[in-house]
């Protein structure tokens, strides 16, 4: 049971054990969720249905069934979110995670985020397990559709088979991309350090990864503004914004003296 919960606003100092484990580790996996992008101005998944979208239930909206029932509405919701992303840039949390990839020779970032901000911040070893909102695919054949012609019909049609085009993201009840998920499980079960950042850890199978890492012997820590469902099962919870905590952590890992 994790009784180690540090509130970085109140406690100021990071636990010595955490810094030592981070410094001694050879391999590191970071799992991110919507909280990491929140400070860039991207609404978290569960805050994404606001304004004209507030009458919808988010977990019923991000499903193949919802798309079948109302493809235009679902497509428009994703267009709205794509437009929001146009002027959005990575924040200090994203850049700190890119820094971690330079610190650890064996580094993987597993992200549930579909906004592409980790690539923009400079991370290379990225596994996007819930897809990417910038890509589209055929609803029936699952093939990537690169150049969609935006005509009168919404959503547009696949040029090959005439089915609707949809965003290349993973909806509820859909399998996750095979390579990305298998690799995520592999690296989670082999790493020394596993950092969970800005995720509610309620969506599976992503929420299983920290537990896989913990069971395989990794030091598992999370950074979140509030406790989550996994807080009691891991080694350390640091309460605070990822845009503040992650840069401090990377600074401390790199510092010669840190006390
Ligand atoms: C901050 C912060 C700051 C804010 N600093 N922190 C049990 C076992 C296995 C599966 C299931 C199960 N029970 C049910 C399932 C099925 C389901 C599931 O998990 N449901 C749950 C609701 C229980 N899972 C699935 O359906 C998955 N597929 C599957 O299991 O397939 C099986 C299959 C096999 C073979 C054939 C067919 C099927 C698919 C899951 C796909 C999830 N997709 C989404 C939508 C993506 C597209 C889109 O965005 O529109 O992915 S759902 C949504 O949740 C999105 C996110 O990536 C994901 C996770 O959310 P995240 O990132 O954690 O965001 P929030 O909003 O929940 O939390 C934000 C957090 O940030 C909070 O904690 C804040 O406190 C924090 N925060 N600001 C630090 N500044």
216 φψ region: left (φ > 0), alpha (ψ -120 to 50), beta (else): alpha
Structure tokens at 161: 């088979």
- pLDDT for the residue 259: 46
Pairing of strands 131-138, 126-128: unpaired
CA distance 60 to 52: 16
Is the Cβ atom of 44 under 6 angstroms away from ligand 1? yes
Indicate if the alpha-carbon torsion angle 134, 138, 142, 147 is positive or negative: negative
- pLDDT for the residue 184: 98
- pLDDT for the residue 5: 80
Place of tokens 């596993």: 194
CB atoms within 10 A of CB 22: 22
Is the Cβ atom of 207 under 6 angstroms away from ligand 1? no
CA distance 245 to 255: 15
**Ligand 1 pocket test target in 204, 206, 249 with most atoms within 8 Å of CB:** 204
Place of tokens 């605070």: 240
- pLDDT for the residue 130: 98
Structure tokens at 133: 């909102």
Is the Cβ atom of 51 under 6 angstroms away from ligand 1? no
CB atoms within 10 A of CB 40: 19
| 118 catalytic per annotation | no
Structure tokens at 164: 């609707």
How many angstroms does the Cα of residue 48 sit away from the middle of ligand 1? 13
Provide the angle, in degrees to the nearest 10, between the axes of the packed helices 242-254 and 16-24.
Answer: 60
How many angstroms does the Cα of residue 255 sit away from the middle of ligand 1? 35
* Alpha-carbon radius of gyration of the chain: 19
- pLDDT for the residue 3: 56
Q: What are phi and psi of 249, to 5 degrees?
A: -65, -45
What count of Cα atoms within 13 Å lies in the side-chain half-sphere of residue 96? 24
Beta strand ranges found along 48-163 (DSSP E): 106-111, 126-128, 131-138
How many angstroms does the Cα of residue 43 sit away from the middle of ligand 1? 14
Find the length of the chain.
259
Which of 94, 118, 119, 130 is catalytic? The answer is: 130
CB atoms within 10 A of CB 56: 17
- pLDDT for the residue 242: 97
Chunk the chain into consecutive blocks of 10 residues (it has 259) and report each block's average pLDDT, rounded to whole numbers.
Answer: 70 85 97 97 77 67 93 92 94 98 97 98 98 97 88 90 96 97 98 98 97 98 96 96 96 75
How many angstroms does the Cα of residue 204 sit away from the middle of ligand 1? 6
């Amino acid at each position: 049971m994790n009784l180690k919960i540090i509130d970085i606003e109140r406690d100021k100092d990071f636990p010595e054990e955490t810094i030592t484990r981070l410094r001694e580790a050879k391999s590191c996996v970071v799992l991110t969720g919507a909280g990491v992008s929140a400070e860039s101005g991207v609404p978290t998944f569960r805050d994404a249905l606001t304004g004209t979208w507030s009458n919808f239930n988010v977990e019923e909206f991000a499903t193949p069934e919802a798309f079948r029932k109302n493809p235009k509405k679902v497509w428009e919701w994703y267009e709205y979110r794509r437009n929001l992303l146009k002027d959005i840039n990575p924040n200090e949390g994203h850049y700190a995670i890119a820094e971690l990839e330079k610190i650890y020779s064996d580094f993987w970032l597993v992200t549930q985020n579909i906004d592409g901000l980790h690539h923009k911040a400079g991370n290379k070893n990225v596994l996007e397990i819930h897809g990417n909102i910038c890509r589209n695919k055929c609803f029936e054949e699952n093939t990537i559709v690169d150049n969609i012609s935006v005509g009168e019909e919404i959503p547009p049609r696949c040029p090959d088979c005439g089915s609707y085009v949809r965003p290349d993201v993973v909806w509820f009840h859909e399998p996750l991309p095979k390579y990305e998920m298998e690799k995520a499980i592999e690296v989670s079960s082999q790493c020394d350090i596993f950092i969970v950042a800005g995720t509610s850890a309620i969506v599976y199978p992503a929420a299983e990864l920290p537990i896989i890492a913990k069971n395989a012997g990794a030091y598992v820590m999370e950074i979140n503004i509030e406790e989550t469902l996994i807080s009691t099962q891991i080694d350390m919870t640091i309460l605070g914004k990822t845009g503040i905590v992650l840069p401090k952590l990377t600074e401390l890992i790199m510092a010669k003296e840190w006390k």
